[in-house]
Structure 1
């Protein structure tokens, strides 16, 4: 496995793009993307199921207004989840599809919606229990060889998933849920295993959607006051202490929240503070 760390303080998640009516017009979204790039943020995290494809389509419509901007962006997308609404079988069931045919079509559809010739990164969105290793390997290698995908990664993968696939493919990252509310990977060795295997950790829902329990929110407020920071900045600093320095994927597209996160990008926590916050979140002391 080859490590290619993503060298920016955070990525911007496009899952909730449709929740921002102020970004609905292509010109408005283009302005937002340009301002992000000016801030040093050029990584945008997509998936084919976000808005059932509409999030990528809107992003592509904005990008078509200024095609030259493409060269300054890092576009990531994911596929293999089939929502029930898109299942054409009689069962109408959510399922995963990691077949070569599905993955190839998914990449080509994302390219068309985004209006680009290449995805910088492509991730398998969820581990598929029916995944056929040889078929997936050939499909992803072909996409890279054809220049449609720059690098490969996984999302929500457990150790055996990334280790088996990593024997056949040059994986760059694993995107996992990681926050004060979802910190098990910090305790069970997964983060050290990812670091040892050369995979960058991308942390989705790094602020747990703002759903912090009262005890944790109080601890964040107290630490923030002591460090002259904000609770959001402290929660993100907690992540940066972890092995491999996980890169948070910020779900909010509010520019004030983005500015707040960037302003605290250099904030450091010492070990006692890290454990204090962890204990407040878990409701239990370290073992």
Structure 2
């Protein structure tokens, strides 16, 4: 059960309208790393968690908080759009200088949202459920959560420098702080999973006897850069404690030629077959069943 409280988690009041910044702020709502993404990511991770107890409780606490962050940002966007000149644009844009300014407004805010936020990023691309990660493996998921919070904090930090509005900056300071604590929480949860013996460094902690051990430790030097061997990823003990890194300075391909198989005649794919080969022309007297069989062959 979810219960909505009308008070925001933190204040979201700009000092003045700013339709252009409202468009930029949409990235933190519906972008790939926005609050809609972490909201749905954490909710589905919590719903899919097969263990009742501290992990599920923590996930659901943070997930529910993120719903409030979407509301904060949507409220801020609506207030930034208050008094935005969507109804006088036609007259205003007759002046080229004014047109350049007004042209920065997201037209969807006026056309679709009626002066409010929309579930999209800063260029109007709709939010997509494919952005979320909820695998059921807590170690894999928590690592994805660290990345999501890091990217979200990075984008918030960049937006912080794009506004001089004290009210907007006050809210963004709060958002930065919450992204900080959430990064630390997911990192702490990753360590706790190891200490509890539930997951290990490499995910999943299985099939090590099945994998090709010869290729579970090597760094293949495949670029023009000459310093890849200077990091701990190229030599010494691997973080999982099971492997030792090895640097391959001049690796050779292990597979054969990457050639596609010959095409079926009825696909009309250009190939090196003899142009006189009658087999390039599909038979006209085959039954429908035979043609379907040819296709799947």
TM range (shorter): under 0.3
- Greater radius of gyration (CA): 2
Q: Give me the TM-score of the superposition, normalised by structure 1.
A: 0.21
Question: Structure 2 length normalisation: TM-score?
Answer: 0.21
Q: Which structure shows the higher strand fraction? A: 1
